[in-house]
Structure 1
Amino acid sequence: MKIDNLQIIRILSGFLTLIFASLINIFAQNTNPENTAFQINQHNTKLSDELVDLFISPPANAKPRVMWMWMGTSISKEGITRDLETLHEAGFGGTTMFSLTDVNTVFAYDFENSFQKNIVAWTEPWWELVRFAAEESKRLGMDFGMNNCPGYETSGGKWIPVEYSMQQICYSETAAEGGKPISLYIPKPTVDPRAVMLGPVHNPETGKLEKPVIPERNTYFKDIALLAIPDDNKPVSPDQIIDLTDKMNANNTVDCMLPEGKWTIYRFGHTTMGALIYPAQWKAAGFECDKMNPDAVSFHLDHIISESKKHLKDLVGNTFSHFHFDSYEAGNANWTPRMKEEFHARRGYDLTPYLLTFADKIFVDSIKTRQFKQDFNATVRDLHADVYFSIIQKKLHEANLIFSSEPYGGPWKEEDVLPKVDRVMTEFWTTNNRYTPYKVKPTIEAARKSGQNLIEAEAFSGQPSMSMWSETPHGLKAIGDEAFCEGINRFVLHRFTQQPYAEKYKPGVSMGQWGTHFDHTQTWWEHGKAVFKYWHRCQAMLLYGKNVDDPNAFKVVTNESNISLKSIQRSHQTIHFFFVANVSREQGNVICSFPYAGNKPELWDPVTTTIRDLPAYTIEDGRIHIPLNFSPSQSFFIVFRTPLSHKSSTLSLKNFPNHKVVKDISRDWSVTFDHRWGGPERPVLFSRLEDWTENTDKRIKYYSGTATYHKLFDCEETLLGKDIFVDLGHVKHIARVRVNGTDLGVVWCDPWMTKIPAEILKRNNNEILIEITNVWANRLIGDEQEPEDMEWGMADFGYGKFRYMKKFPDWFLNNQPRPSKGRYCFTTYNYFTRESPLIPSGLIGPVRLLLIDASTTVPLS
């Protein structure tokens, strides 16, 4: 092809232009700080968009989960589908199923007549329901797993033979005379035949609540050693101990000659502790496995994995994702068949002489004795880590299953075992209506040390005094926020109970006296979805980036109100944010300090899903000081993601707008109750807002559920076109607001207000509907005013006196009309009497319309 001179000039010119532009770009990138900032800002924009998207639409991995309690025979396919569909619709990501006894108080109790008599955990009819639950979970795209045995404690079942059960040292003492040959019968030790375990069970054979008699405690025995010491009541010296182990004959006699004097011969051996898994159905209860015996642990894991594959087939590792091992309450075994060999290999000496310490014998060398006890305990710890946790991890991973565990409370060190756990779970309680952690800090510290980001929690476990169908989302908020500040970033709610029968039977099945009632039969379940979304959003943020463990990063500079603030920091590259929570039940103004003086502060509200600037701040000594206002139990994310355009103080601006009351609409509401749950059949006029429990009408006094408040109001011309807020005042216990047909959402915590968009209001006849939902307690107390139509047992084990249902009543099983016509509720556990105090309920108010002071408007980001 022929190229003329003009074409050559054009080609060379273009080539030189490209080279020159490239040189300019390289020079600029290396010498121009503004260009460098621009490059960083471009990256920040991408990260910022990622974080905003995560906050607005949190991902599935951040969804909360539930501990799904299947109570004895109270299970049905219809109930399973209803449970899972309501959980899915409410935004939950998955379930961990526990198969428990019919009633779990502090003991295991099986009903005398059951809802479905043939359902026993880990038998064929039960497995059919488990497969159905796995299939339904797959249909809904939900994660599903279960505890590794019946009950929640700990690892075992009917399949564990006595030789693989947890073992205990025992001994017998026989007097002997030295200085002559002897042929002496040495009896086997005898022990208390009752199981060595934490709590009692209901024994259907005796009808009593007791620790069960385990015949194997006195029929199963293996020798360890036969030791003789002088019978002189003096401290023992190792050189005085005579080992007669190899002198023992098959007929339990020893042929030997001891030195002159009186001697005591100790026959040391081991038997089963008899510890049973609990709280399981009596027919499903079996031995706890020996956690220090690799054969026993392997046997247990092989059994549960093979059974799951047999019944769930291709669902194992696909939807059925994990086996869970709950917090350890199985007691402390002090022996395992290979203990002597393991001790010698790990500690370098023979433990045999020191078996006498288990018979409370005192050695001359107290230092060596103390060292032995330390070495023995260390060996126990090592074996739990190297055998129990390691084999669980290996076996589950080979089966493509996740190892979920609450790895604390047992005879091991958290830092030794946490690296072996895939999903680390800790727990917190609601004792005294406050965040009450159990082993949270050491668990989180060990998890972070092993590089784990996801830290789950058995969340909101409750004792009966705190969990009496009286829990509210608002009451739980500060507790959950404090857990977030500790480092927990995914809740597994304790608990959600399988509800097997028709929805007319509410509140339904409970987990005995334990746990917060997160069941879909809750009065506030529908409105409570706003709470679940809040947790979902917070968890998405708290899973993002990495935790920053710097105690000086967040500081409270000024606290005029003495509210209690907690915080946690996360960072990802150039983005830093803090979750700051007021964990007290009062409001206050504070000035907080952060170490990011070069970045613009923003407030991200996870309740309202709003993002806005914080324009008021000062900068001192490289830190930014920000005035913040907190309502009771309120929390925010304070985000630093973009550089400040200027670094001067801006205290002339406001971070929180002032509101002024423009109209009070507290009077003359028409209130509609649900007559199917005992409420009045016609709307009731409330000339003033009042607590339902103060009403003389018993249909209102004892009402539980949702009531709708309705009224019309006019709006001044000057307010039209402006954003107005409706402030609900005091709410007992959760509200949904609609104005002129527009749903303004659920209001469930302080501040009890929501915005009415400017285009919604009109001059006259604005219609406002407020749905108010209280808790079940009042209706349950109201039912106690009526004659009994169920048979109750009494539980009193230090947690208060409460009644559990002894058996399903015949009228229920036969689907007959209820004998006690004035009763509306049905539940398996009863916290109340006719004298129990009622819980304030309803819209207390005042209800007012508020307008933001234009001079304190806060810009949105």
Structure 2
Amino acid sequence: MNIGDAGDVVMGEFWTGDFFSSQSLKIAASCAHLNGTQIAGAESFTGNANWLEHPATLKNLGDRVWTTGINRIIFHTYTHQPGDVGPGYTMGGNGLEFNRLNTWWKQGKAFLDYIARSQYLLQQGKNVADVLVFTGEASPNDATLLSEISAMGFDYDLIGTDKMMKLTAQNGVLRTDSQAEYRILVLPESVWMTPEVLSKIEELVKNNVLVIGKKPQKSPSLEDYPHCDNKLMKMAKSLWGKGLIKDISIQELVKEKNFISDFTTSKGFVKDISYTHRRDGEVDIYFVDNARQESLDEICRFRVGGKQPELWNPETGEIREIAVWKDNGNGTTDIPLHFESDEAFFVVFRNLEKEKNHFVDVKIELNKPEEEIFPGLEIIKAEYGTFMPVGLVDVTQNIRNSVRNGSLNLFCGFNLSSSDPAPGYIKEVRIDCEIDGKRQELRAKEGEQILIRAVRSLEILNAVYGRFEADIRHIPQSYAICDVTDYIKSQFMSGMKKIPVDDNLVKGNQSDLGPERELHIVYSIAGKIQKKNLPMGTTLDMSQPWPVSRVLTNGDKIIWTTPIPGSLTYTTVSGKKKSVQVSSVPQPIRLTGPWNLCFPQDSLHLDELVSWTNLPEESMRYFSGTAVYKKTIDIPKKWLRSNSSVELDLGNLAEIAEVIINGKNMGILWKPPYRINLGDAVHGGKNDLEIKITNLWPNRLIGDENNPDSKTTFSTIKVWGRNSPLLPSGLLGPVIIRPYQNIELK
């Protein structure tokens, strides 16, 4: 932390893959906030991509990084390409292949626009955090991650010794020398502290700052020893003895003081929904992220009152005043928000220039048709239980097997596990054991050795190896994981479309499944492999989602736009309750064959949409790049009335689409759901539709391994062989033209 004080742009890093570490990110963001600088950077998307990453796979991780306080993505890596034959030069397989020879380079502009819009807002004003966490006086020190603070709907920053000594306080508010403000100071879990630091804390407490933490007992310095210890203990006895500082948890303090969360939902903490908050003068800017691979509807509560909320969509650049919201009169505002799968957006609060019409409550009842299972759904693997945190593996049995006659000589390294649980990170092993009847916890970093020689007995109770995030302060317990693949398959085969995630998945199983049970499922749709992790209490839904019915502002008007008949009841801010009905909406049109599919060197007619890997021509099966689907579509004139709109839904595809209708480019669709409003680009009758689909490099690389004499690619590494499976590619559908009814609400 002290080193970060001197940096103009402090950076952390993060890797792609299942394991996500936020420790360096929290340090970098905290340094930027304490230094008063606008930029907190990160070396981004490091890993072994092998040309499998694309904007849709990167977005989820990038959004999560922004909620830690990082606001500048610095790609790892752009490799110079002196030639024009792809995929080209690499960094030996390390890093994202972010360069001009990647298949999606041109279409990736839409993703970069998303990043640019988001980071513009994330760099405005100052970060809002309630809690300051002192990392202690050890050097070097690591991040102190307190996930319990985030779970309560608050944010926090870390602070080192140098900045700690510069803190000031007035009326219970902590201030840094850059004028960042906090309400609570949390001390480290340590018995060590110098008298100078505790004296500074005493000064802050006298200015009514709330401080919690463990009472220090000794000074880590030999300066003025042993008087320094006596001085420290005397101050500590006074501060903790009088209750000026309490050794209680942050949860206890928040409950005692009845603090209002900065952001929460009507359900309290919802896993996979996270936020960050900045304030620029009188404007409050919240970035809210749904990291779950499914849509969510939540009533979100923001600690802002008396201001007009707006929704800023970084995917499209669209800004709308929010139509449905309620000022609770206590400095908070409730807003019902719909999140699509893996969607994030900004909620911006600005001062009301004048009282505008809006609704405080809306209830919608729709006459939904029967939902259908995703076509081509295949359940590959489903497991239920309490899983080991990502980045860690249970190595208890391995270490037990290494015990010989009450002795253990253990080297900490890759030998402990069959695979690397956290590639690119320094790992450690933690062992819970009994040595001659005495319970102990032993720890060793990679490259270190543990040597135990018990006199009577040595028992290994629990052992875990990997990357321990700073908020994992114990040795995680390993629990039984139940394979529920066959049960899930049978439920879907019997006609079930939604399956509750609860213990009925393992009915009759008496194993201890642990306290934080989840369903981890791997499945494929039209050959595209996908994953979901669903906590207990949620629902596994494999039906094709209908687009939602929304209440939106359009200038000074409030519009209900719906693709399905139904009724809507709304309550205005003045308390009036009204209802409207939509009795019918035209049925969507499913676009079937024929399609004209054009590759750069060839074309063919398709009677139905299939993956390119199923096409008859070898050059098409192994194709990597962009191909174009062409079709003439007929849109009924009645769909284009003033109270109607038309949407194109591409269903499933791999991996990026660009839509052109009647010669007008409608934009790039780079993440699901692949839907776009056709606006005034369409007319009644015949319309020319073009859909450009871009896939990834592996298929062409696999093809060249099968036909080395006609090789068309060049790369400095080989990761794909002749027997590697081809990746589903192209437009997979179903493709639907969907009408909406738009009703003005007054």
TM-score normalised according to structure 2 size: 0.51
Q: Which amino acid aligns with 1:544?
A: Q
Q: Is there any run of 5+ residues in structure 2 with no aligned partner, and where?
A: 131-153, 155-260, 365-549, 553-560, 565-586
Please state which structure has a larger fraction of its residues in strand: 2
- How far apart, CA to CA, are the structure 2 residues paired with 1:771 and 1:645? 42
- Tell me if 1:712 matches 2:623: no
- How far apart, CA to CA, are the structure 1 residues paired with 2:636 and 2:614? 34
- How far apart, CA to CA, are the structure 1 residues paired with 2:724 and 2:699? 9
Partner of 1:232: none
Q: How does 1:412-561 map to 2 (within 5 A)?
A: 415-432=1-18, 435-437=20-22, 439-462=24-47, 464=48, 467-501=49-83, 503=84, 505-550=85-130, 551=154, 552-558=261-267
Post-superposition shift, 1:647? Answer: 8.7
Partner of 1:651: 362
Deviations 1:132-162 (A, max 9, x none): xxxxxxxxxxxxxxxxxxxxxxxxxxxxxxx
1:649 is paired with a residue whose SS is: strand
Q: Which amino acid aligns with 1:719?
A: W
2:688 to 767, 776, 787: 767
- Tell me if 1:566 matches 2:274: yes
Partner of 2:606: 686
Deviations 1:764-805 (A, max 9, x none): 320000000000011111111124xxxxxxxxxxxxxxxxxx
Deviations 1:591-649 (A, max 9, x none): 11112231222111010111112212334362221111111111110111132547972
Partner of 1:665: 591
Q: Which amino acid aligns with 1:468?
A: N
Post-superposition shift, 1:451? Answer: 2.2
Partner of 2:459: none
- Tell me if 1:631 matches 2:340: yes
- How far apart, CA to CA, are the structure 2 residues paired with 1:779 and 1:768? 27
Deviations 1:233-280 (A, max 9, x none): xxxxxxxxxxxxxxxxxxxxxxxxxxxxxxxxxxxxxxxxxxxxxxxx
Deviations 1:337-367 (A, max 9, x none): xxxxxxxxxxxxxxxxxxxxxxxxxxxxxxx
CA contact (8 A) 2:595 2:608 kept: yes
2:266 is paired with a residue whose SS is: strand
- How far apart, CA to CA, are the structure 1 residues paired with 2:647 and 2:75? 33
Please state which structure has a larger fraction of its residues in helix: 1
2:679 to 744, 747, 757: 757
- Tell me if 1:725 matches 2:647: yes
- Alpha-carbon distance change, 500 to 580 in structure 1, aligned in 2, over 3 angstroms: same
- How far apart, CA to CA, are the structure 2 residues paired with 1:754 and 1:648? 27
TM-score normalised according to structure 1 size: 0.44
CA contact (8 A) 1:602 1:639 kept: yes
CA contact (8 A) 2:637 2:685 kept: no
Partner of 2:656: 734
CA contact (8 A) 1:619 1:648 kept: no
Deviations 1:51-82 (A, max 9, x none): xxxxxxxxxxxxxxxxxxxxxxxxxxxxxxxx
CA contact (8 A) 1:617 1:651 kept: no
- Alpha-carbon distance change, 666 to 475 in structure 1, aligned in 2, over 3 angstroms: farther
Post-superposition shift, 1:825? Answer: 1.0
Post-superposition shift, 1:757? Answer: 1.9
Post-superposition shift, 1:439? Answer: 1.4
1:569 is paired with a residue whose SS is: strand
1:748 to 670, 675, 682: 670
- Alpha-carbon distance change, 418 to 476 in structure 1, aligned in 2, over 3 angstroms: same
Post-superposition shift, 1:446? Answer: 2.8
2:319 to 601, 611, 621: 611
Partner of 2:712: 824
Q: Which amino acid aligns with 1:426?
A: G
- Tell me if 1:583 matches 2:291: yes
1:639 is paired with a residue whose SS is: strand
- How far apart, CA to CA, are the structure 2 residues paired with 1:670 and 1:648? 47
Query: Which range is displaced more, 655-664 or 744-753?
Result: 655-664
- How far apart, CA to CA, are the structure 2 residues paired with 1:834 and 1:764? 47
Q: Which amino acid aligns with 2:24?
A: K
Q: Percent identity?
A: 32
Post-superposition shift, 1:858? Answer: 9.4
Deviations 1:174-229 (A, max 9, x none): xxxxxxxxxxxxxxxxxxxxxxxxxxxxxxxxxxxxxxxxxxxxxxxxxxxxxxxx
- Tell me if 1:779 matches 2:700: yes
- How far apart, CA to CA, are the structure 1 residues paired with 2:349 and 2:627? 43
- How far apart, CA to CA, are the structure 1 residues paired with 2:94 and 2:22? 16
CA contact (8 A) 1:558 1:592 kept: no
CA contact (8 A) 1:674 1:707 kept: yes
Q: Is there any run of 5+ residues in structure 1 with no aligned partner, and where?
A: 1-414, 676-680, 788-819
CA contact (8 A) 2:324 2:359 kept: no
1:602 is paired with a residue whose SS is: strand
Q: Which amino acid aligns with 1:827?
A: S
Q: Which amino acid aligns with 1:662?
A: P
Q: Which amino acid aligns with 1:830?
A: K
Paired residue total: 397
What's the C-alpha RMSD, in Å, of the aligned pairs?
A: 2.2
Post-superposition shift, 1:437? Answer: 3.6
2:619 is paired with a residue whose SS is: helix
- How far apart, CA to CA, are the structure 2 residues paired with 1:840 and 1:586? 21
CA contact (8 A) 1:460 1:494 kept: yes
Q: Which amino acid aligns with 1:685?
A: H
1:531 is paired with a residue whose SS is: helix
